[in-house]
Amino acid sequence: AAVAAGVPLGLLHGVPLAHKDMFFRASRRSSLGSHNAPPAWGAGESSLLGRLDAAGAIEIGTLNMCEFALGPTGHNAWLGDCRNPWHTDHIACGSSSGGGAAIAARLAFGAFGSDTGGSVRLPASACGVLGLKPTNGRVTLAGMMPLSPSVDVPGIFARSARDVARLLGIVAGRDARDPRSSGLPVPDYEASVEHGIAGLRIGVPQNFFLEGIAGDVALRLEESLQALATLGAEIVPVTVPAPEHLTELSRVLVYSEAAAIHGPWLREHAEHYSPQVRMRAATGLAIPAAAFQQAQQLRSGILRRFVDAVFSTCDVLHLPTLGIPVPTLAETDVGGSAAMWEKIAVLVRCTAPFNYLGLPALSVPCGFTRNGLPTSFQLVGRPFAEATLLRVAHAYEGV
């Protein structure tokens, strides 16, 4: 009708999208991955969805997610487990599990999820699509279910760097409804993907991130570095300062803030939580306020030292997204048992540190492991360097 009427068309006019069921609309109640979510959490229209609507996008549905976005595997005891479209016995990862699965299965052209510990990048890696976690503040949080407001970031799934760039350009920028959103100018991400990577320094961490990764994942990562080198990039070794502490600091923030949000509902309706989510949501109740405050106070100084140490040596970091082949649903169906913490630690080892730092990170598919499922490399940049990450990904797609 818009075409027939000759009205101006948006950059997404008629493009089918679908999003994690935690972005609120007045016309519906979001499930939040739960069978009994608190009604008050559904207040307020999503600014992000409003920007997509204004660009002409068509929302064709909402997507499966882990209960209250607390889970990296894609299991959901209430609404059904999200399965990997490459092999349905395997996980799609989480918590934005439906985003990775839907884009890989060609059900939509793009999707938005949330990333608080890797919840966009992990499903993107498991399902063989691109997944971007922007810099904290680059995209508005207004009208999105909170998990850990100081760490939460809306993230993007798509099948190409150009598609991610277009979606980011539409939703990025200052939002008066979100005081934490950045007022920095929004660059033309889509135009910048064509700038090439000749002379760009790509750093390979020599500590922590490559430790213990599976052999076939390591092989795919090395092949991707060789491809980037053929495009003119310079591959340089980098020592990353104290990465082993970043995940723990992120955990302190996430679980403390999650407990503050869930505490009243958890105390009154614990039976409405599955065992794993109940245990994880309650973990923050045992974290001292002093530990939470210290994790917040240390954050800016650690970020400054990290950026100075790493990005004085390279322009972009290259590391795994998921250091193991995608596991099966059965292997990761551990509920709230003691094995839960070990499984979570393995899955988020390479993603959660950058949630604490608030840095942009992009998962880029780079082939398959021996089990026939996708694997990816992850690109990390300095604050608000999303355009550089997308340049690298676009160049790699052309090899």
Whole-angstrom distance, CA of residue 327 vs CA of residue 215: 15
- Name the active-site residue from 95, 97, 150, 274: 95
95 catalytically annotated: yes
Q: Is 238 helix (H, G, I), strand (E, B) or coil?
A: strand
Q: Count of residues for the chain?
A: 399
Whole-angstrom distance, CA of residue 302 vs CA of residue 30: 36
Whole-angstrom distance, CA of residue 58 vs CA of residue 109: 10
Whole-angstrom distance, CA of residue 359 vs CA of residue 284: 24
Instruction: Cite the beta strand spans of the chain per DSSP E.
Output: 16-20, 58-63, 83-84, 87-91, 110-114, 130-133, 154-158, 201-205, 234-238, 316-320, 361-368, 374-380
119 catalytically annotated: yes
Concatenated DSSP letters of 85-115: TTEEEEE--SSSHHHHHHHHTTS-SEEEEE-
- Name the active-site residue from 20, 46, 114, 150: 20
Burial 47-59 (b: 16+ CB within 10 A, else e): bbbbbbbebbbee
Cα Rg of the chain, angstroms: 20
Q: Is 26 helix (H, G, I), strand (E, B) or coil?
A: coil
Q: What percentage of the chain's residues is helix, strand, coil (to nearest 5)?
A: 40, 20, 40
Q: Which residue, 384, 389, 395, is CA-closest to 198?
A: 395
- Name the active-site residue from 30, 46, 119, 125: 119
Judged on CB neighbours under 10 Å (0-12, 13-18, 19+), 224 is: buried
46 catalytically annotated: no
* Beta-strand relationship, 154-158 and 130-133: antiparallel
Enter the tokens of residue 219.
């092989």
Q: Which residue, 98, 111, 46, is CA-closest to 67?
A: 98
Residues marked active site are found at 20, 95, 119
